[in-house]
């Protein structure tokens, strides 16, 4: 099956400079895939020339005159930029010309425009941002990472359903376990929303494993962890910040003098193997789950390697028919219909 | 000035085994300090004998018959354990027999009992848990770390005042900067409470520097960062979990085979210097700020070195008269009194 991904060529901190080279590398690795590069044709063409890319029938350019700025308010992007690369890419998905949209653009705007263009799946009140993060024994699917700064217990239940479907499909798990992020594991812990969500999850039919604390994210105690978007965003960005600090400290210590530099040289192969395991590029690509279509958000600062990973995430979500699986799961069962 | 610290000798995962040896090490390093070891005299005496500690007039045992379990509900600890080591230690502070209380016991119970025994300072609605965490360029004071899972904007403002006072006193900063933890730095970002808190902080007279994202915690952009206790707890525990995972991965990679072990041996002095910089033991000891007295909570799993650090934190808070400084700051100013 041929899969077409609409790539917002103008999105991210680097625009076509990164998106075009990521697209070319991705197409080389994925013979079944096609890419629609959406954006300003001159900018894209110039980059293709720079990369000395020959004509490729699997790569086409879809023009869009506008660009959503990284700091543009989502409402403004939605109202006044009807011909933005982001919006045109999403339109391609809605109209069936593409199977997925990938963008490294402004997260809030992508969320708002994707929600408006594609709509949520029946039974899903709010789309959520989901990603896999590495753990001691593999990875965990974490959501919501910032789409919804205020959530009800029912929203958290829906996130749990969607996370379960993705973990089941992508990881081939039979009944993925779901944890609820909280400030403690005892029943009395947490705020009112979390406590109510725990009750909903306990009788949801999902494989609910109870509360998980912040450090439990990285122990890999469950396959899925749900939380509201405020908390999820803070947990993820705090992790990014800590990882950067640790990297800076390691570099500083190994760079202190000639002797430590020599020690660093000898340790380098091991440090590189270590760095690969926690490389954020390998984990780039967060899904906007719950929409009528596959939408993947790349980190704005992603380089071509990281962005290519986001394209792979989109390809996988299309192959596993994630939106269809969620739709089927959320369909009223016959019993419910009769009740 | 002689400072007496009431140490809950039974608290924490290890009880007297850790508390007694931490107390002895602390007294040796701090000739002005005294310690009241509060708990079951036999258990404490046994440990003192094991440590072959001679009589020391600066160390006394204050009996308490009960122990609050690590998993005991706070309400139960408060209602039914009137002679717990935690409670008796706090009573010593209230009655002026001790200047501070340090406990590695159940956080929720310590919070509830300390609140009940010592009461909050005038103008402070809720005590908060505060600690310093390492950053790229020093450290940042972060609060609340879990005392209040639901906060109003006014609570966050009070946390900002308390954080400012501690940063000014402990770090000798003139006008410490305060950041508000949020999911983005733009005005439109965040939930309603955070947005309202931003308005209060902007006109508070504090050196308010705006929103800080999760990764900003470790860049050290501000001297103080405030957030509600749910978010703060998740940020802190997520960091602990990630740090543990990174340590485990490093160990695994260096332990892979004879060659990597050899490389590790050569890199060891540098890795040790690095580890010292992020050693959680050095940052053990969170203050329960906003109470009529100094109360410091140690990590439950703390060893003697980490617990000794919590004792040092308490000593410093007493020396800087933190509760008095907060009381003076929160006093209605003459203008306000006339208004």
B241 → closest Cβ in A192, A217, A236: A217
CA distance A264 to chain B (A): 6
Q: What range does the domain containing A81 cover?
A: 1-124+290-339
- Kindly identify which residue of chain A lies nearest to residue B192, measuring between CA atoms: A150
> Considering the domain boundaries, does residue B339 fall inside one?
no
Q: Same domain, yes or no, for A192 and A339? A: no
Q: Which residues from chain A sit within 8 angstroms of residue B235, using beta carbons? A: 214, 234-235, 238
User: Is A29 touching B (CB cutoff 8 A)?
Assistant: no
Q: Same domain, yes or no, for B168 and B249? A: yes
Tokens of B174: 């003139």
How much is the pLDDT for A331?
84
Query: How many structural domains comprise chain A?
Result: 2
Q: Same domain, yes or no, for B205 and B296? A: no
CA distance B193 to chain A (A): 10
B235 → closest Cβ in A227, A234, A254: A234
* Mutation site for A-interface testing, chosen from B216, B238, B263 by largest number of A Cβ within 10 Å: B238
User: Is A184 touching B (CB cutoff 8 A)?
Assistant: yes
CA distance B55 to chain A (A): 41
* Mutation site for B-interface testing, chosen from A77, A196, A217, A242 by largest number of B Cβ within 10 Å: A242
How much is the pLDDT for A332?
73
> What pTM did the predictor assign?
0.92
Q: Same domain, yes or no, for B274 and B131? A: yes
From CA A252, how far away is CA B183, in angstroms rounded? 29
From CA A132, how far away is CA A284, in angstroms rounded? 9
ipTM strictly over 0.85? yes
Which among A67, A1, A55 has a CA at the least distance from the CA of A24?
A: A55
User: Is B265 touching A (CB cutoff 8 A)?
Assistant: no
3-state secondary structure of B172: coil
B11-48 confidence digits (pLDDT tens): 999 999 999 999 999 999 999 999 999 999 999 999 99
Residues within 8 A of B (CB atoms), A 216-255 only: 216-219, 227, 229-231, 233-246, 248-250, 253-254
- Kindly identify which residue of chain A lies nearest to residue B138, measuring between CA atoms: A245
3-state secondary structure of A125: coil
User: Is B320 touching A (CB cutoff 8 A)?
Assistant: no
User: Is A275 touching B (CB cutoff 8 A)?
Assistant: no
Pair B141, B224: CB distance under 8 Å: yes
CB contacts < 8 Å between A and B, how many? 181
Helix (H) or strand (E) holding A167: helix A153-171
* Mutation site for B-interface testing, chosen from A156, A191, A270, A279 by largest number of B Cβ within 10 Å: A270
Overall residue count recorded for chain B in this entry: 339
> Considering the domain boundaries, does residue B147 fall inside one?
yes
Q: Same domain, yes or no, for A238 and A154? A: yes
3-state secondary structure of A20: helix
Q: Same domain, yes or no, for A317 and A336? A: yes
Say yes or no for a CB contact (<8 Å) between B242 and A240: no
Q: Same domain, yes or no, for A50 and A19? A: yes
A234 → closest Cβ in B214, B241, B256: B214
Say yes or no for a CB contact (<8 Å) between B73 and A108: no
- Name the CA radius of gyration of chain B, rounded: 21
Tokens 């009807």 map to which residue?
A82
How much is the pLDDT for A334?
56
Say yes or no for a CB contact (<8 Å) between A267 and B269: no
* Mutation site for B-interface testing, chosen from A183, A196, A265, A283 by largest number of B Cβ within 10 Å: A183
How much is the pLDDT for A38?
98
Helix (H) or strand (E) holding A6: strand A3-8
**Phi, psi dihedrals of residue A210, rounded to the nearest 5°:** 95, -165
The CB-side HSE value for A211 (13 A sphere, CA atoms) comes to: 20
> Considering the domain boundaries, does residue B214 fall inside one?
yes
Which among A112, A118, A190, A193 has a CA at the least distance from the CA of A159?
A: A193
Low-confidence ranges of chain A (pLDDT < 70): 333-339
- What separation in angstroms does the CA of B321 have from each of B8, B97, B229? 21, 16, 24
Q: Is the peptide bond before A144 cis (omega within 30 degrees of 0)?
A: yes
Low-confidence ranges of chain B (pLDDT < 50): 336-339
Pair B113, B66: CB distance under 8 Å: no
Q: Same domain, yes or no, for A254 and A323? A: no
Q: How does DSSP classify residue B281?
A: G
Q: Same domain, yes or no, for A218 and A253? A: yes
From CA A203, how far away is CA A65, in angstroms rounded? 50
Q: What angle do CA B203, B208, B213 make, to 5 degrees?
A: 125
Say yes or no for a CB contact (<8 Å) between A253 and B263: no
Q: Same domain, yes or no, for A117 and A173? A: no
A270 → closest Cβ in B184, B191, B253: B253
Sequence-distant (≥ 6) Cβ neighbours of residue B234 within 8 angstroms = A181, A183, A213, A214, A227, A231, A234, A235
Pair A102, A296: CB distance under 8 Å: yes
**Where residue B306 sits, what CATH number does that domain have?**
3.40.718.10
DSSP A45-60: HHHHHHTTPPP-TTEE
Q: Which residues pair with A100 in a beta bridge?
A: A5, A294
Say yes or no for a CB contact (<8 Å) between B191 and A219: no
Tokens of B30: 């701090």
B264-318 confidence digits (pLDDT tens): 999 999 999 988 888 878 889 999 999 999 999 999 999 999 999 999 999 999 9
A244 → closest Cβ in B150, B215, B264: B215
- Kindly identify which residue of chain A lies nearest to residue B273, measuring between CA atoms: A253
Q: Which residues from chain A sit within 8 angstroms of residue B215, using beta carbons? A: 237-238, 240-241, 244
Tokens 């992603």 map to which residue?
A302
CA torsion through residues B335, B336, B337, B338, sign:
positive
From CA B136, how far away is CA A247, in angstroms rounded? 10
Q: How does DSSP classify residue B283?
A: G
Q: Which residues from chain A sit within 8 angstroms of residue B269, using beta carbons? A: 260, 263
| Beta carbons within 10 angstroms of residue A136's beta carbon | 14
Helix (H) or strand (E) holding B118: helix B107-118
How much is the pLDDT for B253?
93
Q: What angle do CA B30, B41, B315 make, to 5 degrees?
A: 20
Q: How does DSSP classify residue B70?
A: T
Q: Same domain, yes or no, for A278 and A165? A: yes
CA distance B14 to chain A (A): 20
Pair B321, B126: CB distance under 8 Å: no
Which among A82, A58, A66 has a CA at the least distance from the CA of A5?
A: A58
In A29-137, DSSP assigns E strands to 33-39, 59-63, 100-103, 128-135
User: Is B136 touching A (CB cutoff 8 A)?
Assistant: yes
3-state secondary structure of B75: helix
How much is the pLDDT for A21?
95
From CA B115, how far away is CA B112, in angstroms rounded? 5
Say yes or no for a CB contact (<8 Å) between B270 and A277: no
Overall residue count recorded for chain A in this entry: 339
Q: Same domain, yes or no, for A88 and A32? A: yes
Q: Which residues from chain B sit within 8 angstroms of residue A189, using beta carbons? A: 108, 149
Tokens 């450290």 map to which residue?
B139
């Amino acid at each position: 099956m041929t899969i077409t991904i609409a790539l917002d060529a103008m999105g991210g901190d680097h625009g076509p400079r990164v998106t075009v080279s990521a697209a070319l590398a991705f197409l080389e690795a994925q013979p079944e895939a096609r890419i629609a590069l959406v954006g300003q044709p001159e900018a894209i063409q110039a980059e293709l020339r720079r990369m000395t890319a020959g004509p490729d029938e699997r790569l086409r350019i879809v023009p869009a005159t506008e660009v959503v700025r990284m700091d543009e308010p989502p409402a403004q992007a939605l109202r006044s930029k009807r011909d933005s690369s982001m919006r045109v890419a999403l339109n391609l998905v809605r109209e069936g010309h593409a199977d997925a949209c990938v963008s490294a653009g402004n997260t809030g705007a992508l969320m708002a425009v994707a929600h408006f263009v594609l709509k949520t799946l029946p039974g899903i009140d709010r789309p959520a941002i989901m990603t896999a993060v590495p753990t001691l024994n593999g990875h965990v699917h974490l959501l919501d990472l910032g789409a919804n700064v205020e959530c009800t217990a029912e929203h958290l239940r829906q996130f749990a359903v969607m996370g379960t479907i993705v973990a089941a499909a992508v990881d081939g798990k039979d009944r993925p376990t779901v944890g609820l992020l909280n400030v403690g594991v005892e029943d009395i812990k947490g705020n009112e929303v979390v406590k109510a969500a725990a009750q909903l999850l306990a009788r949801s039919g999902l494989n609910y494993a109870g509360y998980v604390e912040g450090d439990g994210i990285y122990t890999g105690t469950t396959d899925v962890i749900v939380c509201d978007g405020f908390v999820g965003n803070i947990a993820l960005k705090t992790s990014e910040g800590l990882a950067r600090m640790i990297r800076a400290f390691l570099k500083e210590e190994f760079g202190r003098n000639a002797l430590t530099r020599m020690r660093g040289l000898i340790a380098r192969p091991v440090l590189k193997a270590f760095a690969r395991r926690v490389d954020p590029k390998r984990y780039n690509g967060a899904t906007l789950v719950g929409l009528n279509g596959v939408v993947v958000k790349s980190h704005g600062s992603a380089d071509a390697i990281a962005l290519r990973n986001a394209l792979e995430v989109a390809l996988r979500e299309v192959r596993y028919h994630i939106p269809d699986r969620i739709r089927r799961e959320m369909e009223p069962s016959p019993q419910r219909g009769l009740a």
